[in-house]
Amino acid sequence: MEDSLFMIQRQIMQYVDDIKHHDDIKPEEIPEYRLYISQLEEFFDKKLGKAAGDEEEKKAISKTMIQNYIKEGLLMPPNGKCYNRGHVILLALIYNLKSILTIKDIKKLLSPIFSTESQEENREENEEDDESIKRIEYLYNTYLELKQKDSYKELLTNKLDAIYDYLNDKPEITEPWYTAHLLLLVLILIEQANVRKKIAEYIINQHFSLIFDQDKEP
């Protein structure tokens, strides 16, 4: 049974390697030129793939999503009909955030970016646009670098070892031993995800709501 568990552990670690960078769009992959909305769709489909569903639903980022994000204030309007690197980066962040956070919380979280932009109205349009893109790109690059430092394998190994030590020689465990082991691992992972989600929501509500509310004032 230990051999079976060891084999499953190796499979999980391989899966961690496979998914760790799956949803990352590297800065060097983002076109320097501006994109039309159909080109944005194609770019995200190519980088992130498509899900199962009808043609609109399976797109990673669709025209409808982009238009709704602009309407909701999560994304700045295009320059004419064209989208720049800042738009691409924000869409990549929204894509990663929306599986955990509500649209309202994402809007609060991103509000400092738009608040800073609104304070720079005296700049020339092109200068303001360039500075905005640089600021967004800097934040995104820092996020990717910090993400690299997360040791998911080490965290998983520690949990797996702790469960192994706890269940070892427990006669009351009637299920297949490795099944009980994996069941407990999943329960712990879900609990960790729930706690981290609550912490993120707490930070957003405590420290980003004020900026968000100030931006809404006429």
Q: How far apart are the C-alpha atoms of 44 and 87, rounded to whole Å?
A: 12
**Structure confidence at residue 2 (pLDDT):** 60
For residue 42, give its domain range: 2-216
Beta bridge partners of 35: 83
Taking the C-alpha atoms of residue 218 and residue 152, their distance in angstroms, rounded to an integer, is 45
Query: Both tokens of residue 49?
Result: 């793939």
Tens of pLDDT along the chain (218 residues) come to 566 777 888 888 888 877 776 768 888 999 988 999 999 999 998 888 765 444 555 688 999 999 999 998 889 899 889 999 999 999 999 999 998 999 999 999 988 887 655 444 444 445 456 777 888 899 999 999 888 887 788 888 888 888 888 887 666 665 666 788 889 999 999 999 999 999 999 999 998 887 656 555 55
What's the structural domain count of the chain? 1
Residue 79: partners with Cβ closer than 8 Å, 6 or more residues away = 34, 129
The answer to whether 83 and 37 have CB atoms below 8 angstroms apart is: yes
Instruction: Round to whole Å and give the CA distance between 36 and 56.
Output: 17
Question: How far is it, in rounded angstroms, from Cα 42 to Cα 48?
Answer: 10
Task: Give the whole-angstrom CA distance, residue 146 versus residue 128.
Answer: 27
